[in-house]
Structure 1
Amino acid sequence: MNGDVLVLGGGVIGLTTAVVLAESGRRVRVWSREPGDATTSAVAGALWWPYRIEPEALAGTWALDSLRVYEELAARAEETGVRIVPGVHADLRLAGLGAWAAKVEGLRAAGPGELPAGYAAGLRASIPLIDMPVHLRWLEKRLVEAGGTVERRLVTSFGQAQAESGARVLVNCTGLGARELVPDPSLRPVRGQLVLVENPGVTEWFTAADAASAETTYFFPQPGRLVLGGTADEDVWSLEPDAAAAAAIVARCARVHPAIGDARVLGHRVGLRPARSGGVRLTSERLPGGALLIHNYGHGGAGVTVAWGCARAAASRAG
């Protein structure tokens, strides 16, 4: 037996789950078809916030569990990629949030002078903003230090993965890949497009997301760049940046912060959020050969937000 747990998927959900399992004393291997910097997770913005994720009650708990971890990791920002950054969520009110909101320190209604023109309400908060390429590399390093390994492997079935690994516990963190692997037709892509520009002096993040619209407006100051967004195009599989969408993203962000309109474009990114009807699947079952299969996928646009909470829940199922 090469390891008693095999985690399938090398994005933030897979790596975080693998770290939790390895640090609990398990021997863990991660198989991923692509390196971490080529996963959907690497494209993420990535601001901690329970956005587009269900079931709401569980998601709130998972998000708060993760928040506490990120708050600790922010003490080593250069190493972990996690910083606590202030900003504004426009068009949101405390009354419209779940019970989790009462446990986010400093989250409050924004005053009139704290909102951009055109917005009548909003919230202010200082919450984790994560540089995902740095964070994914840190997670992989932490896993290796705990005795785990990461391999680039293509998996076509759970039976194949179990037979080739010899593992008695498999954890399915394949994100959108679970649509074919499980198979689970309730999974669908929600395409997100970003524009990276030189930062013209923006120090706070901003979001204005209409759940009923495919167009969102946000900008996140990351080291060496300002990340502009975005889109939420359901059932769109294309990973090619759309020039018109990119121009519209810049224009929307420039209406909030005019200097963004003149910022030099550094690049474009597209990712497919793994949305699932009914929300996150965190369940377990037995494979025909007796191995335990744990599912941890379907996190939509909030994988980073709930990664540690879901990882701990998945690890508890491993016994």
Structure 2
Amino acid sequence: MDSDAPTFYQRYQPWRRSFEIGFWVLSYLASAIANSLTANMDVRRLDLGFAVWQPPVWEASSALAALALVPAVVWFTRRWPVHLDNWRRMLPIHVLASIAWSALHVAGMVAIRKAVYASQGQHYDFGPWWREFGYEYLKDVRSYAGVVLTVEGYRFVMRRLQGEASLLSIPDEGPPVEPLERPERFLVRKLGREFLVAANDIEWLQASGNYVNLRVRGHDYPLRSTIAGIEAKLDPERFVRIQRSYIANLDHVASIEPLDTGDARVHMKDGSRLPCSRTYRGGLRQRSG
């Protein structure tokens, strides 16, 4: 299914984290610089009497506080992802999250501004919180939505680059070629092409939000399912649950390393190390013989 030449997705992996961090840092840096310049121009044009250093402090403090909250949004969208088929159900959850995000953003930037103003021998007054927070939230809700859409759009592109798995569906005509309750193969779509992956070739599976990543020969193929849902469709003689978020193919287990905590570490033949909780450790040892 895979050629020997590394794909763009594989070549990108060593640089992925640096790119992701750099993207957000540069985005907020550019926004802070641009907004500082325009704010200073407005101050001079309207003769508002603020010092030159004040607008950059306002914008930089806002950018720093928002940048610090990006990892929280990334985590939150993994737990409650937004897709075209669930956005109505997710909307109330993310509206509440946007209020929390705005409150943390405002608290962070006000704390930074107070510290900088104090270093200059001045006092920063945010104003009446109930009124000023309402004003800030009207801006923050758009910023929050922009971060969520950017994160989800990036994940969508990544899934298309690496390939996305799905169960074989019922054919339009005739009986299915294999039992749908326990499929022998999975359909993988990758950049407009389709491949069939044998279920027995799956080395291990990991839950990730609304997806379960299928590990096949060094590649991860996300399948839209819960870990419990896909577990019910796999051969119980070959696949075993080892942790709340992991399932391992016994044919690809190299060794099991007990830990002092009562848990274990499962070493796979591909070099991966998977966690095994004490809840599933006994079953794994029994099944592995």
Whether TM exceeds 0.5 here: the answer is no
- Higher-Rg structure is 2
Q: TM-score, normalised by structure 1?
A: 0.23
Relative CO higher for 1 or 2, CA cutoff 8 Å, sep ≥ 6? 1
